[in-house]
Amino acid sequence: MSCEILQEQVAIPVPEDGSIIDAYVARPEQPGKYPAVIVGMELYGVNAEIRDAARRVAELGYVAIAPNFYHRTLPNDSLPFGAEGRDRGFEHLHHLSRPTVIADVRAVINFIHARQDVSERTGFLGFSMGGHIAYLAATQFDIAACACFYGGWLVNTDIELSRPEPTASLTAGIAKHGGRLIYFVGELDHAVTREQREQLAAALEDAHVRHEMVVYPDTGHSFFGETRDTFHRVSRDDAWKRVQALFAEELYQDRHFSEKRS
């Protein structure tokens, strides 16, 4: 079920260091209270593709917020697709530490739930780097539903976000907070190998997290965005149906109402 949406840019203070997160918000035009969904950006920042994902979420009946996690080094901006944007993205990524990202997510959660149009429950939809952040957030906060698209570096310590111990080692926190997670990945994903998928699946099983791992054949990394060379429509469409069901079932406590929205 789709609806008309309203859009705005907001500024969110981070108490720990006084920085300001610039974020894009999309919400249903119809007055009321809606669950919140944080949308985690890819390496290229909060660009048109991420804003489009946020609008998709809002059209389903949620207040979607896409924070710029590069706000300390690339405020109010994003990066172009391509080799140059990718290289610059990695420069910004390596400035993200686990404590600062956790502080950012906390600030975003506090901000969004202080709004009059937001109800109690929170979801997280993250892509690639944002998928990693979504997974990390679910270990730390009451994230009822987490849709993690091809999040990398979860089982190793190759980036600051995954240090001092791999983010997957924190998986018990997802179960502690009662969250449910779906991990989406392509079988041909260069950034998430079969061995890494198996390690992640084992971590989720061992922690007794309510989860699914959905592996799409003949599909690579970044298959969700239509503007990308890696776009895979069949996989994207199936994943989006699963995301809608996940959010409807976990974020709307009135099951009858949620089924109408999905």
What pLDDT shows up at residue 2? Answer: 59
With b for 16 or more beta-carbon neighbours within 10 A and e for fewer, the 237-247 pattern comes to eebbeebbebb
Six-digit token pair at 243? 């995301």
139 contacts 72 by C-beta, under 8 angstroms: no
Predicted confidence at residue 178, as pLDDT, reads 97
Residue 216 belongs to domain spanning: 5-261
pTM: 0.95
pLDDT of residue 3: 78
Q: What is the pLDDT along the chain (262 residues), one digit of tens a residue?
A: 557 999 999 999 999 999 999 999 999 999 999 999 999 999 999 999 999 999 999 999 999 999 999 999 999 999 999 999 999 999 999 999 999 999 999 999 999 999 999 999 999 999 999 999 999 999 999 999 999 999 999 999 999 999 999 999 999 999 999 999 999 999 999 999 999 999 999 999 999 999 999 999 999 999 999 999 999 999 999 999 999 999 999 999 654 333 433 3
Q: What pLDDT does residue 8 have?
A: 98
pLDDT value for 260? 37
pLDDT value at residue 253: 65
- Per the structure, the count of domains in the chain is 1
Q: Which of 23, 8, 178, 180 is nearest to 108 (CA)?
A: 23
Provide the CATH number for the domain around residue 178.
3.40.50.1820
Q: Give the H/E segment covering residue 72.
A: none
Distance CA 214, CA 197 (A): 10
